[in-house]
Structure 1
Amino acid sequence: MNAFKMVTLVALPILSLAVQPVFSQVTKIVIRAKAKDAKFIGTGIGGAYVIVRNNTTGEILDQGYTTGTSGDTELIMNTPIARAVRLTDDNTAKFEAQLTISEPIFVDVEVIAPINRKAASVKATTQFWAIPGKHILGDGIILDIPGYILDINYPTTHQTIAITSLPQGSLKAKVHLVMMCGCVINKGGIWDADDIEVKGLLRRDGKILAEFPFEITDEDNVFEGTLPLTEKGSFELLVYAFDEKTGNSGIDKVSFVIN
Structure 2
Amino acid sequence: MRSLIFCTLLLFSTTTLATETRLVVRARARDGKFVGTSMGGVRVVLRDAQSGQVLVSGVIAGSTGNTQTLMKQPQVRGAPLADESSAKFTATLDLTEPRLVTVEVSGPLAQRQALATSTTQLWMLPGKHIEGDGLILELPGFVMHVVTPSAHEFLKLPADKKLTVPLRANLTLMCGCPTEPNGLWDSNRYELQATVKHNGKPLTQVPLKYAGKTSTFEAALSVQQPGIYEVTVTAYDPITGNTGVDSTTFVVES
The two structures have a TM-score, normalised by structure 2, of 0.91
Encode CA deviations 1:26-62: one digit per residue, 9 max, x unaligned.
1010000000000000111111110011112222221
1:221 Cα deviation from its structure 2 partner: 1.0
Deviates more, 1:78-87 or 1:23-32: 78-87
RMSD, matched Cα: 1.8
> Which residue is 1:119 aligned to?
113
In 2, Cα distance between equivalents of 1:166 and 1:84 = 67
Encode CA deviations 1:133-153: one digit per residue, 9 max, x unaligned.
000011110000001111111
**Residue from 61, 64, 67 that aligns with 1:67:** 61
**Residue from 80, 89, 98 that aligns with 2:83:** 89
Deviating 4+ runs (over 6 angstroms) = none
> Which residue is 1:13 aligned to?
none
> Which residue is 1:212 aligned to?
206
With over 3 angstroms needed to count, the CA separation of the structure-2 counterparts of 1:143 and 1:234, relative to structure 1, is: same
Question: Do structure 1's residue 37 and structure 2's residue 28 form an aligned pair?
Answer: no
Contact kept, 8 Å, 2:161 with 2:224, in 1: the verdict is no
Question: Do structure 1's residue 150 and structure 2's residue 118 form an aligned pair?
Answer: no
In 1, Cα distance between equivalents of 2:38 and 2:159 = 38
Contact kept, 8 Å, 2:199 with 2:227, in 1: the verdict is no
For residues 4-83 of structure 1, the aligned pairs below 5 Å read 20=13, 23-83=17-77
Q: Which amino acid aligns with 2:237?
A: D
In 1, Cα distance between equivalents of 2:174 and 2:199 = 32
Contact kept, 8 Å, 1:210 with 1:228, in 2: the verdict is no
Q: Which amino acid aligns with 1:229?
A: V
Identity of aligned residues (%): 35
Question: Do structure 1's residue 179 and structure 2's residue 179 form an aligned pair?
Answer: no
Deviates more, 1:106-115 or 1:161-170: 161-170
In 1, Cα distance between equivalents of 2:26 and 2:81 = 11
Question: Do structure 1's residue 251 and structure 2's residue 240 form an aligned pair?
Answer: no
1:168 Cα deviation from its structure 2 partner: 5.0
Alignment partner of 1:189: what SS? coil
Question: Do structure 1's residue 199 and structure 2's residue 197 form an aligned pair?
Answer: no
Structure 1 gap ranges (5+): 1-15
Q: Which amino acid aligns with 1:75?
A: T
In 2, Cα distance between equivalents of 1:99 and 1:116 = 28
Structure 2 gap ranges (5+): 1-8
Encode CA deviations 1:129-173: one digit per residue, 9 max, x unaligned.
000000001111000000111111111111101122999532211
1:90 Cα deviation from its structure 2 partner: 1.1
Aligned residues: 242
Question: Do structure 1's residue 237 and structure 2's residue 231 form an aligned pair?
Answer: yes
